[in-house]
């Protein structure tokens, strides 16, 4: 909504406030500022001139005229002009040499077309008054010569542009914004709708309301003898242009002007094109209407129409019909003003993709009391400016509507804001926005119900009475505020007018025992650990397609192929909820590799969706009139899939970068396994790792990850077919692990281990084992055999060659021993080492190398 400051000042006694000060006050009151545009402040030395002589110059491709113009100086000015729409004797705006036009365009004296031109005769666009550049702007006869055009036309103005949210439709008018400005500055407000309308009982054009759910007030007034050639006055064209609307013709401009000023859309019908009684009703099956934009529209039975005996003549509140529009020859006009259903107009507008200035206002709620006033002002302006005669009588069809009344405790705004407001402040602020406030304790409030006489109450207010006290008030919102329907709406009005800046910024105290859960802390620790390990977190859409299962080489009976299908997928290529994190990560890896980032290590934490066995095909759709029963909630729960939390990584290229320090190291399956160890370490759980075959991993380079006997994930190098299907870099590795299972197996709170003050004793041991023996099994045997003196065991070398025999490998470990109460002797550490070697020999057939 664009509001010229000069227009606001007509209805508000503003002090010497700038547009920025007004905008600041409106922002503090809760309206959103979009922009402030200044007009005419740089314009100077533009005066009214009278054309004395016109000489047509020949020999040029376009018409060129040399004019003598009287501008109130000692001698007339000579000006060369290319426009032909003015004649001798016309008064025109002239910018003299040294003058400046909007945008900083300076005008000087210069020789052109062989003649001296001392200035410029201006069009409306050159003066910043609109887009009309078809000819010179001709001023009314009798305009004083030499008058400053800036003052004459009101060129200097500031326009405040506001973004109007759906809940404050009243601000889509100068009237609504002016009321907010008056409240913000604490000054008087003159309501443009406060006019005396004559009491008339005779109908104008016959009309009725056929569907009370579509319209509850419909008003028609009539004028005759309108002059179609009458021009809109300059002040009206300027205001329309400043407010963002293009002037069209006097009749149309009047309806648009009043819509901007009052917020009430109006429509003008050509009386000669109407046939029979006008009825407001819903559309019928098969009806069509050609609207003013020359589009023939198929009408929906839910559309709201204005009809006569010929059928639909207008889409109510949205756009008129072409057959009954006023034309250049229309002399008899019927003005229509109505109050339509806000939801009905909103659905109609969206259904047809037809958003108009009228529909924007109707769908946000229009003042129900405006149609009589707005239509009267429209016919009076048609008479005053267009020479029409106002016909006596008015058609006024209406449906009785009981005004809403809201009963609340006077302390309710204080309870909402946490700031004490006295009853006088609450009542005063509500009256400022136009509410009628009466004392009263309505029993419907205590019951948390709705009074059939129209008192709207909130069920929670009865509980608040213990806090706010029983001092009740009953509030009747004004007709221009249909958004005030709830006690909290009234509380918001009090709070915003008192000032959001007065609300204290106080953080609530954290109750004892609250904070992050252990699962939330685990997820944060896992993310930090992987980030510190060189991985970058990504967030993928949780949607996949059936072709992802094929590219992952999943068998036909794999449980991961059972996926939940979306009812309304964003993309038909990805209609399923993911059952694994890998597709999203692999696609992200491909995107990065395709853009030149070949060394990539990514991770993601998120839920996967695994349908349960024998689950219902779909969850029941419940209504909103009541709370679901326990059985209904159980049926919804049964239809939901399991949603375990997982973490996955993918990596390709160099994991350790090469540089001046030497060659780097390519990412491998071992890095994927190490990522799983990092995750497990954050949950204080020891992973057991063994070889496995599991799609989409390479059958010879895949590790199964266990916690005890529970499988929690897999890691390794991806299968070559998967790499080819996705277009991944060679030897891409990945890991996927179920965090939910790790979380359920986490030990209790970590206990700080006792620190021994005695020195550590180190023993190295090299064992020869068959090359298919898992390293984890050898390490587990060493731990079990060494006993409680063992502090740690670390693999530091793996060797395969002639010295250990074909089919074997050598594993070298460093074993650290320490006692809590003494310094260990050589005999004790040697005995513990030997026991560990013996256990490894018994379990995995290990032999001590060199023995």
Paired sense of beta strands 207-209 and 278-282, if any: parallel
Residue 461 has pLDDT above 60, yes or no: no
Mean pLDDT of the chain: 89
| Region class of 662: left (phi > 0), else alpha (psi between -120 and 50), else beta | left
Tally helices (H) and strands (E) across the chain.
Answer: 23, 42
Q: How far apart are CA 548 and CA 531, in angstroms?
A: 27
CA neighbor of 478 nearest in space, from 368, 401, 339, 399: 368
- Predicted confidence at residue 774, as pLDDT, reads 84
326 exposure class (CB count in 10 Å sphere: 0-12, 13-18, 19+): buried
The pLDDT of residue 686 is 86
Residue 482 predicted with pLDDT over 60 = yes
Confidence of residue 455 (pLDDT cuts 50, 70, 90): very low
Give per-residue pLDDT as tens, 177-207. Answer: 999 999 999 999 999 999 999 888 889 999 9
Report the distance separating Cα 686 and Cα 708, nearest Å: 9
Query: What mean pLDDT is predicted for residues 818-823?
Result: 92
For the segment 215-274, what is each residue's pLDDT rounded down to a tens digit?
A: 999 999 999 999 999 988 888 988 998 898 988 899 999 999 999 999 999 999 999 999
The pLDDT tens digits for 386-433 are 999 999 999 999 999 888 899 999 999 998 888 899 999 999 999 999
- pTM above 0.95? no
pLDDT of 96 over the 50 cut: yes
Residue 584, both tokens: 């999203």
* Residue 458 pLDDT > 80: no
Q: Are strands 64-70 and 77-81 parallel, antiparallel or unpaired?
A: antiparallel
* Residue 209 scores a pLDDT above 60: yes
pLDDT band at residue 838 under the 50/70/90 scheme? very high
Task: Specify the 3-state DSSP secondary structure of 595.
Answer: coil
Using alpha carbons only, how large is the chain's radius of gyration in Å?
41
Residue 69 has pLDDT above 70, yes or no: yes
Return the axis-axis angle of helices 826-844 and 775-786, rounded to nearest 10°: 140
Q: Which of 39, 20, 19, 47 is nearest to 103 (CA)?
A: 39
- 3-state secondary structure (DSSP) of residue 204: coil
> What would the pLDDT profile of 533-579 be if each residue is shown by its tens digit?
999 999 999 999 999 999 999 999 999 999 999 888 988 899 999 99
| 466 pLDDT higher than 80 | no
Higher-scoring residue by pLDDT: 488, 453: 488
Segment 323-359, tens digit of pLDDT: 999 988 899 999 999 999 999 999 999 999 999 999 9
Angle between helices 342-351 and 357-364 (to 10 degrees): 140
Q: What is the dihedral of CA 508, 514, 517, 520, to 10 degrees?
A: 10
What mean pLDDT comes out for the span 289-316? 93
The number of residues making up the chain comes to 851
Task: List Cα–Cα distances, 327 to 272, 374, 386, in angstroms.
Answer: 11, 22, 14
pLDDT at residue 93 tops 70: yes
Chain centroid to Cα 173, Å, comes to 24
Instruction: With beta carbons less than 8 A apart as the criterion, state whether 578 and 608 touch.
Output: yes
Q: Report d(CA 645, CA 269) in Å as an integer.
A: 64
How many Å apart are CA 732 and CA 722, to the nearest integer?
10
């Amino acid at each position: 909504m664009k509001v010229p400051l000069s227009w606001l000042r007509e209805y508000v006694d503003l002090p010497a406030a700038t547009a920025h000060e007004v905008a600041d006050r409106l922002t503090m009151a809760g309206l959103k500022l979009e922009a402030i545009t200044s007009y005419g402040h740089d314009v100077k030395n533009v005066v009214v001139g009278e054309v004395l002589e016109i000489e047509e110059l020949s020999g040029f491709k376009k018409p060129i005229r040399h004019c003598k113009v009287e501008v109130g100086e000692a001698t007339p000015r000579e000006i060369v002009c290319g426009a032909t729409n003015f004649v001798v004797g016309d008064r025109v705006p002239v910018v003299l040499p040294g003058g400046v036009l909007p945008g900083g365009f300076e005008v000087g004296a210069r020789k052109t077309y062989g003649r001296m031109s001392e200035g410029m005769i201006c069009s409306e666009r050159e003066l910043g008054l609109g887009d009309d550049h078809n000819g010179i702007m001709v001023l009314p006869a009798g305009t004083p010569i030499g008058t400053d055009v800036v003052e004459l036309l009101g060129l200097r103005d500031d326009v405040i542009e506001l973004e109007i949210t759906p809940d404050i439709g009243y601000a889509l008018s100068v009237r609504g914004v002016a009321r907010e400005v008056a409240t913000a500055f604490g000054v008087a407000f003159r309501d443009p709708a406060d006019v005396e309308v004559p009491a008339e009982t005779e109908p104008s054009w016959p009309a009725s309301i056929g569907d009370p759910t579509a319209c509850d007030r419909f008003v028609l007034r009539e004028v005759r003898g309108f002059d179609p050639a009458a021009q809109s006055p300059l002040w009206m064209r300027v205001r329309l242009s400043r407010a963002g609307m293009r002037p069209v013709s006097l009749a149309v401009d009047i309806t648009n002007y009043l819509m901007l000023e009052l917020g009430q859309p109006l429509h003008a019908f050509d009386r000669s094109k109407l046939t029979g009684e006008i009825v407001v009703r819903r559309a019928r099956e098969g009806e069509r209407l050609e609207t003013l934009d020359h589009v023939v529209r198929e009408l929906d039975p839910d559309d709201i129409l204005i009809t006569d005996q010929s059928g639909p003549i207008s889409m109510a509140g949205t756009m008129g019909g072409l057959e009954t529009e006023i034309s250049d020859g229309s002399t008899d006009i019927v003005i229509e003003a109505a109050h339509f259903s806000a939801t009905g107009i909103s659905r109609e507008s969206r259904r047809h993709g037809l958003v108009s200035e009228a529909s924007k206002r109707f769908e946000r709620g229009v003042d129900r009391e405006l149609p009589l006033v707005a239509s009267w002002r429209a016919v009076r302006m048609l008479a005053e400016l267009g020479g029409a005669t106002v016909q006596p009588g008015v058609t006024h069809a209406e449906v009785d509507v009981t005004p809403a009344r809201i009963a609340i405790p006077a302390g309710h705004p204080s309870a909402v804001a946490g700031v004490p407001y006295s009853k006088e402040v609450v009542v005063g602020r509500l009256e400022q926005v136009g509410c009628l406030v009466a004392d009263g304790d309505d029993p419907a409030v205590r019951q948390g119900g709705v009074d059939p006489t129209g008192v709207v109450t909130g069920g929670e207010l009865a509980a608040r009475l213990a806090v706010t006290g029983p001092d009740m008030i009953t509030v009747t919102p004004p007709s221009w505020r249909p958004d005030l329907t709830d006690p909290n709406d009234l509380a918001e009005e009090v709070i915003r007018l008192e000032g959001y800046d007065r609300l204290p910024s106080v953080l609530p105290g954290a109750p004892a025992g609250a904070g992050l859960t252990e699962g939330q802390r685990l997820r944060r620790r896992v993310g930090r650990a992987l980030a510190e390990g060189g991985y970058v977190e990504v967030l993928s859409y949780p949607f996949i397609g059936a072709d992802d299962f094929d590219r992952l080489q999943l068998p036909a009976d794999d449980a991961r192929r059972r996926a939940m299908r979306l009812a309304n997928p964003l993309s038909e290529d990805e209609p399923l909820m993911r059952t694994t994190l890998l597709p999203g990560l692999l696609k992200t890896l491909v995107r990065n590799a395709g853009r030149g980032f070949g060394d990539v290590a990514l991770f993601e934490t998120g839920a996967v969706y695994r349908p349960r066995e024998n689950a219902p095909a779909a969850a029941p759709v419940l209504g909103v009139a009541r709370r679901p029963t326990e059985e209904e909630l159980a049926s919804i729960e049964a239809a939901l899939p399991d949603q375990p939390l997982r973490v996955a990584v993918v990596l390709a290229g160099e994991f350790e970068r090469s540089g001046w320090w030497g060659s780097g190291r390519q990412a491998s399956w071992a890095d994927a396994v190490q990522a799983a160890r990092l995750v497990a370490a954050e949950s204080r759980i020891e992973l057991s790792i063994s070889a496995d075959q599991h799609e989409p991993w390479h059958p010879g380079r895949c590790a199964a990850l266990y916690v005890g006997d529970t499988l929690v994930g897999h890691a390794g190098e991806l299968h070559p077919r998967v790499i080819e299907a996705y277009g991944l870099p060679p030897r891409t590795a990945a890991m996927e692990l179920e965090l939910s299972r790790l979380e359920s197996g986490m030990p209790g709170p970590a206990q700080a281990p006792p620190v021994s003050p005695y020195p550590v004793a180190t023993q190295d041991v090299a064992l020869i084992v068959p090359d298919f023996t898992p390293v984890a099994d050898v390490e587990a045997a060493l731990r079990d055999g060494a006993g409680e003196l063992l502090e740690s065991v670390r693999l530091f070398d793996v060797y395969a060659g002639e010295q250990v025999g074909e089919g074997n490998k050598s594993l070298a470990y460093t074993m650290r021993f320490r006692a809590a109460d003494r310094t260990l002797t050589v005999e004790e550490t040697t005995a513990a080492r030997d026991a560990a070697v013996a256990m490894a020999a018994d379990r995995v057939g290990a032999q001590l190398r060199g023995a």
